[in-house]
Amino acid sequence: MTQTSTRSSETLSERIYRVLKSRIVAGHLVPGLVIKEADISETMGVGRTPARTALLKLARESLVVKRQGRGFRIPSPRSGSLEIRRPLLEVDAALRDEFGPPALLRDWRHTVFPVVERAVASCLIFGRFQINQTVLAEHFGVSRTIAHEILVNLERVGFVHQEGNSRWYCGQLSLDELKEMYELRWTLEPVALRQAVRAVDIGRLVEIRDRTRELAAQSDWSAETLNDIEAALHVDTVLSCTNRRMSSVLRYCQLPIIVTYGTVARSAANGRLPTGIPETLAEHILILDQLCAGAVDEAAEALGRHIRHGFEFVLPHFTDLPALPGDKLPPYITPV
């Protein structure tokens, strides 16, 4: 096995261990230097759990020793109990370059953030929840700094808020707030669609329409499939508009609503009839048929009507919600 393929299969803790060991052995990280989990976390942009695992492995090889209090120290007979407390990058400026940017650190906006955003959005209608920043960081193996950035970005779009106790919370989405979201959608989405149609490939529109037709012919609709159909029109197509501010506002309004189709599916499982889904699919097909035929204005008008009908369909499912199953919550989100 080549060195490249070996490193590509490393876990994050193994990568941290390998880099720290090489820098210690080479003398770049000097004897007496105190290394803490938090130092590694902030320097390398990783979570504390893989940092702790790497330090314990170094300790088993006597490359570091546990000190009284927090952290480890690089030992040396000459340095005795001398301790050097300086930032890692100040001692070894090339450390971060040697480690390289972890994928999650480099791409967290495209990898971790969408997952957390969707998880939070799916909870908004069910009540009030606390989001644990430390657990979030450990769950994804990122630093607490990145976890904080994720929550700050969610705060900017209104999904979460920080209270006086410095803890993060989300929910509960009220019926008035839901109506406001729908009003923004039926006002702005037709405008956005007129802009977006220039950038969307006609072949993609035909593909979405044909897939929607196939689904409409069925009678068993999963929450995941309905979410995909909704996203194909309202997110992938409409949010291709050229006005980025309008796209941002619409995304904030769309996501909590789109994930309510999961609520509809759970309601059906509890014996509640999921009325409105066939009509919704028929409206999607009409809009896509018009787009494929080049009738953009007609499609935009039909989209506005469709969103108004959607509000009438979703509203009853908000008034008598089933309990949110515990297995639907990630470990960093807990009910208040």
Quick check: 34 and 27 in contact, CB under 8 A?
no
How open is the CA angle 186-188-194, to the nearest 5 degrees? 110
pLDDT for residue 2: 38
Instruction: Give SS3 for 162.
Output: strand
Q: What is the mean pLDDT of residues 39-54?
A: 80
Sign of the Cα pseudo-torsion (40, 44, 45, 48, in order)? negative
pLDDT for residue 10: 67
Return the residue matching tokens 């809009």.
Answer: 287
Lowest mean pLDDT, pick from 9-13, 294-298, 301-305? 9-13
Lowest mean pLDDT, pick from 20-24, 154-158, 256-260? 256-260
d(CA 191, CA 195): 7
* CA distance from start to end of the chain: 50
Count Cβ atoms below 10 Å from residue 227 Cβ, excluding itself. 19
What ranges in 87-174 are assigned the alpha helix state H? 88-91, 95-99, 103-107, 112-121, 133-140, 144-156
pLDDT band for position 37 (cuts 50, 70, 90): confident
d(CA 6, CA 13): 14
Q: Looking at residue 124, what DSSP letter applies?
A: G
Q: What is the mean pLDDT of residues 54-75?
A: 90
Q: Looking at residue 238, what DSSP letter applies?
A: G
How open is the CA angle 201-205-209, to the nearest 5 degrees? 170
Quick check: 175 and 216 in contact, CB under 8 A?
no
pLDDT for residue 227: 76
Query: Per residue in 180-192, pLDDT tens?
Result: 999 999 999 999 9
Quick check: 160 and 131 in contact, CB under 8 A?
yes
d(CA 37, CA 272): 50
How open is the CA angle 28-87-142, to the nearest 5 degrees? 100
Count Cβ atoms below 10 Å from residue 61 Cβ, excluding itself. 10
Instruction: Give SS3 for 27.
Output: coil
Q: What is the largest CA-CA distance in the chain?
A: 82
pLDDT band for position 273 (cuts 50, 70, 90): very low
Number of H helices, E strands in the chain: 17, 7
* Strands of the 161-162 sheet, one edge to the other: 161-162, 168-170, 129-131, 333-335
Query: Per residue in 97-120, pLDDT tens?
Result: 787 766 555 577 777 888 898 889
Query: Per residue in 121-154, pLDDT tens?
Result: 888 888 899 999 999 988 887 888 889 999 999 9
Lowest mean pLDDT, pick from 11-25, 50-64, 84-98, 310-324? 310-324
